[in-house]
A and B are shown apart, each in its own frame.
Chain A
Amino acid sequence: MKKVLLLYFAMCLSLIGMAQSNEIVGKVTDESGFPLPGVSILKVGSTVGTVTDIDGNFSINASSGEELQFSYLGFKSQVITIGSNRELEVVLEEDVSNLDEVVVIGYGSATKRELTGATAQVKGEAIEKMNMPRVDQALQGKMAGVNISTNSGAPGGTSNIRIRGIGTFGDNDPLILVDGVIYDAAGLNALNPNDIESVNVLKDGTAGIYGVRAANGVILIETKKGNLGTKPRLDFNAYYGVQQTARRLDLLNAREFAILKNEAFAAGGQALPFNNVELGEGTDWQDAVFQESPIQEYNLTVTGGSEKTSYSIGGSYFAQEGIVGGPKANFERYNARINFTTEIAPKLKFTNVLLFTREQSSTLPQGGIGSVLYNTINAYPTEPIRVGDRYSYLENVNDIINPLAQMENAYNDSYVNKLVGKEELEYAISDHFTWTGRAGYNYALVDAKTFNPLVWYGPGKFANSARNADLDPVLVDVGGLEIERGANVFESRNTFLDYNLETFLNYNRTFADLHRVKGMVGLSLVGNRSEGLNGTGFNIPNNDLAFADISANQAPGGFLNGVGSFQSRQRLTSAFVRGEYDYKQRYLFSAILRRDGSTNFGPNNRIGYFPAISGAWVISDEPFFNSGAIDFMKLRTSFGVSGNDQIGLFRYRGLLNGSATYVFNDLIVNGAAIGNTSNPDLKWETTYQTNIGLDFSLFSNLDFTANYFIKNTKDLLFQPDVSALLGAYGPGGAPPVINAGDVLNRGVELELGYASNRETGVNFSADYNMTFLKNEVTAVPQGFEFIPGAGFSVGGNVASRFQEGFPIGYFIGYQTDGIYQSQEEIASSSVVQAGAQPGDLRFVDHNGDGVISFGDDADRTQIGSPIPDMVMGFNLTADFKGFDIGANVYAALGQEIIRNYERQQPFANQLAYNLNRWTGAGTTDTHPRLTTGATRNNVFSDFFVEDGSFMRLRNVQLGYTLPLPVSQKLGTQYFRFYLAANNLLTLTKYQGFDPDVGSGNPLFAGVDNGIYPQARTFMAGLNIKF
């Protein structure tokens, strides 16, 4: 409002100014050349001043030698001495370390100066520059304490966001609010990273304003909004890129394969499979499977504002095809959004946020045994891709199928239509009271279709659905009737609605210019409701995708067809209050209390209270503080309690959702059985977090933030094994969810930011962040030694565990100590290792009893952890004379990965490291002999665990911005084009496709089943403003 008045005033002034003789005229723009309206210009040492108009133009009377000061919120002030030039081009530089920058916190906002909690921010531009499909991918390495790992590099693949470590066995996702609307982590696919204005993460106990959902931290994302009194501005951004695999595995070629297999079969006492080993290179299955594929995005936004209304309206299209599968691993997103704010009556502001998204995706089997890449790795090179007019069968390995045939038969599509919005009223009751009421909703309609044609991958393949190579259907006997079971199609339509209704009152008053008091009290109702219907139709005509719809099914009598449905709802009611006080903005205190009631718990434990307190001391404001170098220094501390209720619905009660089926009269009949066992005393997990932090700025261009935190999560919600006596292990049965077990996360976070002064001509900024984290399980439920996690190999041992005294999901197995070189060495060894032969791995007798025990845990020990000791990010930008470069580096150090993509089968292909196998005394002390006979070399040991540390150049970009006159000639205000590469370089010792191996389940983290790797992408793009 004020700005608008000033603007009006400015226009008047400039009219008057026209008549003056010693008039200075000019234009103020930001660094990208965009005009800045409302910049105040003051003649130094006087009260004469003006402001820029809507086009950034100004005029003022001034004579040579006089100084003009230009200032604008969010930008560094600049003083210019008038010389002979009567026409000025002023470029204001954004103030990156602005302590007055407003940051969104829960139910309110605060300046950086005032913050008492530990937070981290990323601005929209930094996200935009990454050119990542999803915002979470763009956040990797951007903030200390926020660790992002990748579940899959496939288009539409998701990441895990973990704030300050892994606190629980269950749901570790933070609470994500986009413009105050709840998103789940997977739902971030709907958001175009280009539309994001800022991301703010609440990391410590002050996140407790969100109570029972805040234990994993809170991410507050704001999308772009318009500014009042600005001309419409059109932004067009586009890029097109080509993706390829960043790495291929070093596998055996046909000749090497034949030699090694002959050796292994001979050692196993079996006939040699290859009479002739001179088979050359053979088939390179990776060559056949990996392809180059496109990625592209186009984005158009209009922003602006009138006196009372501001808006940002835009649309975008994004498309990515897979480097495996191409269009069969595809993700497309269409976005349309309208954000506007208007003053509908004096003091009454209405805000609307609306986003419509359509996502289309296709997926291939990935990330596990039986995935396309798993088959690619294990397919042997002596088999051609095709035999005659069909794909080859790879008959020598039972459960490996031809990956190309597999891709051809995969039809797995989903369509998401999503409407996300918020309506908000803000009423300024008086100078000190503001009331806000809002309703948010996130509604998704998800359609999925999977077509399962009749397939034949060769004799005995588990994935066959046809009876034979002629694709004759299996015959099914239904009550004496023989029915053909043909191709089928599965279709589902599910809807998910998340909603929140919130009302809160803010109070803000400063007494005697010294004591400021802020208060907030509010209520909220958060809920979700989901429903779904699904069906399967059999005997799709002609085994053809063209008829793949339930309506086309030809199942005789409909006997084989199936239907299903689900519905669920949950609610959370909350009341919350926050009080803040500061004295001269030097001593700051804040206290929070939140009361939550969640439907996920029974009446015994439904209501929870979550308090938090925090305080800060701005040391640099003290009179005694006298350091020229240090501009600002603040010490912060906080303690808070928050919860986690994300355990699934109605787990406190026993429901008849178990499975009960038997066969009477040769037909399957359905009955009823108890599903999960009840626990009426179930309650939320509680996280107690203490944080101590220090912020300071040096030389006005160096910012430093450090945090130390202790995060103690207690009463973990999980379903540990229970005694067989409870009878919880029938089909559909599950043990009760209980509260037991504690996890401790401790860490240090450092953030360092540097921005050069503009005077040098080179604009340079760099920031670096690092997080040290130590994760430890400090208690497991009574009566349990550990909770088992991921399995190793097929039918093999449990490789990861949740166990007291160890990090979550640590790897347990046998430690090796070289290779037994000879029979004498085995005989003379002080340790008895049953079945050991020369060339076998020598295991360490961990308990020192002289025997390697394979039947129990006595000799198994920690051989790795999937949790990095340290992660860090480094971001760099520089520009000079229109050129700009940027780079982003991410590193995770100290974690291990289990190599679990090797199928331990006699004929499966193997990695080239097997060429270094033991072949006789003294040949190697690292790689065991190869044999098809019985051996313990394949039990889970550190032989299968690799150093997973890596450092990755995630993004590097070189851009050029046309000089303003040139771009204006092109009819634009700003014109930049750039070349960029994502994932250009990775430094790692890890042998697999991608060392960034994440998992949503902390007990499966770091287990690489042949992860779909992140692509290397080369892109060219444009940013244009009109």
Chain B
Amino acid sequence: MKKIYQGLLILTLGMVTGCDSLLDIDPEFTQDAENFFNTEEDFDRAIIGVYDMMQPAYLNMWIGEIASDNAIAGGESVNDSRGLHEIENMTHGGVNEELRAVMRVNYTGIARANYIFENQENVDFEGKEVILAEAKFMRAYFYFNLVNYFGDMPLIVDRRISINEITNAARTPKATIYEQIETDLEEAMEVLPWTANETGRLTKGAAMAMLGKVLLYQSKHTEAAAILGELIDTNQGGYALFSDYSTLFYNENRNVSEDVFTIQFSGLQGGDYGCLVCLNGNAAVGFQSIRQYDGPLYADGNSYNLPTQDLYDAFEEGDIRREATILDLEAFIAAQPNPDEITYAIGGGGHTGYYNNKYIKRLNERGLPDDDLTSPLNYRAIRWADVLLMAAEAFQRSGNDDRARTELNKVRDRVDMPEVNSSDEALYQAILEERRLELSGEGFRFFDLVRTGQAADRISGFISGQHEVFPIPQVEIDLAGGIWEQNSGY
């Protein structure tokens, strides 16, 4: 009897531990993150993941305008995207969903790029260098965004950071991050082709323009002038100003010779408000369109990011860029044959009568539902006119007024504006003013004002020494273990 019990006991224990092997199951038909980058295709797929993180460009398109003298936040009410309203009024603080999104999006892009670098030695194949160069470019782009918004930020390179390391991740001085950005762009520049085999892939020209921009933002004018000058002189990418400024931002004119560094969008995938970073459409466009509009040419939207009277007034009469940049809705309606039948609504978040006419939903440019979110309009992060104006500024600041005027007047010629003949400080001011007229509504204004020291003059409520950078979201400081000091003044 005792033996039977003993036998039973052994049998039971055997079964108990034997059953544990049933627990060793793996997920099916999916790859483990630690077992990737074994083939060329794996690298091809991973780099798409990095490109993906440039699509939440709507944040730059809004904040770059709303924080500046160009636009107000708008929207349904002052509680609708409250963070944007606070940025408009320069009352933003440590609680700001939009700023948090900026931080999340850019660090996710960095993590996705670093994931590739972490595994770059796994396998060799022809073309790997190009993929790595694309990843370097984009890592530089993400860090550049972070530096512009927040100043010093933790620099994580070539590996993913684990959850246990977060609380040791100190803020890296801005200058060190800039060194990394420059290195990445220089290395990318060496490898990327002038013309990519697929529309939308990054090119050597894009990397040079980006490097020029990064140098200009650091006031390294001579170096910026050199790289931008080289880009303009060699121009193996075949870049040129698009002839018709008034239709430049139509979808039919996507990926033209003016496109240097463009973030690509498509209307072919639906989307919803639940996940803005998931979209393949340009979310900014629908948001910026006319609330409950029912009429010709345009389609309805959420009345965000509305241009100010100040911007409208900045244009000279006869500058076709005014109408191409700003939609004066009442004037537009009055000019239609059936003005009484055209209706729209005014949002409670503010109203100027003006709408961003570059990135706006037009009737024939809608994506799949919800088409407020799925615009196919590409976002031009750097276009040829920007390259020319950056070059003009860099040359002027480094003492070459002749070359500066040449590049400036190329931009003015395109829109039939008279040439600028001034020199020195007047020329510099003309170049800065031209940047506003040429590039308004594209998300650069606030950063231009800050880097050129005009922000305090131009933005009401702007406090020098504080508002040059945004506050780091308080929750992110807490999540990082509270070791980061908040930006001064916040």
Q: List residues of chain A with CB under 8 Å of any chain B CB.
A: 268, 270, 395-396, 398, 459-460, 462-465, 474, 476-478, 485, 521, 523, 525, 567-571, 573, 575, 595, 597-599, 606-607, 649-650, 653-674, 677-679, 721-733, 736, 738, 783-785, 793-797, 854-857, 904-906, 932-934, 936, 938-939
Contact = CB atoms under 8 A, between A and B. Distances in A.
B277 A667 contact: no
A852 B46 CA distance: 48
Nearest to B289: A460
B265 interface: yes
Contacts of A669: 48
Given A607-B20, A729-B104, A667 B478 contact: no
A573 B52 contact: no
Given A395-B343, A597-B23, A793-B79, A731 B348 contact: no
Interface in B204-262: 254-255
Contact of B476 (A575, A661, A677, A723): A723
Interface in B372-397: 372, 376
B108 A729 contact: yes
Nearest to A660: B49
A598 B114 CA distance: 33
A659 to B, nearest CB: 6
Contacts of B52: 659-662, 671, 673, 730-731
Contact of B110 (A476, A664, A727): A727
B201 interface: yes
B339 interface: no
B465 interface: no
A471 to B, nearest CB: 14
B320 interface: no
Given A661-B52, A669-B48, A730-B53, A649 B277 contact: no
Contacts of B300: 398, 459-460
B278 to A, nearest CB: 4
Majority secondary structure, A binding face:
loop
20 contacts: A477-B267, A569-B28, A571-B22, A571-B25, A573-B23, A658-B49, A661-B48, A661-B280, A671-B47, A671-B52, A723-B166, A729-B105, A730-B49, A730-B108, A731-B277, A733-B108, A736-B163, A795-B75, A795-B77, A905-B76
B163 A671 contact: no
B70 interface: no
B261 to A, nearest CB: 14
B33 interface: yes
A476 B16 contact: no
B93 interface: yes
Contacts of A939: 79
Contact of B77 (A523, A727, A856, A904): A904
A992 B33 CA distance: 48
B91 A671 contact: no
Contacts of A904: 76-77
Contacts of A474: 366, 368
A938 B169 contact: no
Contacts of B47: 671
Nearest to A503: B15
Majority secondary structure, B binding face:
loop
Interface of B: 12, 15-16, 19-20, 22-23, 25, 27-34, 36, 42, 44-49, 51-53, 55, 75-82, 86, 91-95, 100, 103-105, 107-112, 114-115, 154, 156, 160-161, 163, 166-167, 169, 198-201, 254-255, 264-269, 275, 277-278, 280, 291-294, 299-300, 343, 345-346, 348-350, 366, 368-370, 372, 376, 475-476, 478-482
B232 to A, nearest CB: 27
Contacts of B103: 724
A679 B475 CA distance: 22
A525 B19 contact: yes
Contacts of B80: 794-796
Contacts of B167: 783
Contacts of A936: 78
Contacts of A459: 292, 294, 300
Contact of B107 (A575, A679, A721, A724): A724
A1008 to B, nearest CB: 19
B45 A674 contact: no
Contact of B30 (A657, A661, A794): A657
B266 A667 contact: yes
Question: Which residue, B51, B108, B267, B346, has most C-beta atoms of chain A within 10 A?
Answer: B108
Contacts of A464: 369
A783 B368 contact: no
Question: Which residue, B299, B369, B482, has most C-beta atoms of chain A within 10 A?
Answer: B369
Contacts of A570: 25
A789 B128 CA distance: 44
Nearest to B301: A460
Nearest to B33: A654
B163 A665 contact: no
A660 B45 contact: yes
Contacts of A575: 12, 15-16, 19
Contacts of B107: 724-727, 729
Nearest to B37: A672
9 cross-chain pairs, A with B, having the tightest CB-CB distances, nearest first: A727-B111, A671-B48, A660-B49, A460-B300, A673-B49, A654-B33, A663-B264, A672-B45, A573-B19
Contact of B368 (A398, A485, A569): A485
Question: Which residue, B15, B299, B476, B479, has most C-beta atoms of chain A within 10 A?
Answer: B479
A606 B21 CA distance: 11
Contact of A523 (B15, B76, B109, B345): B15
A723 B368 contact: no
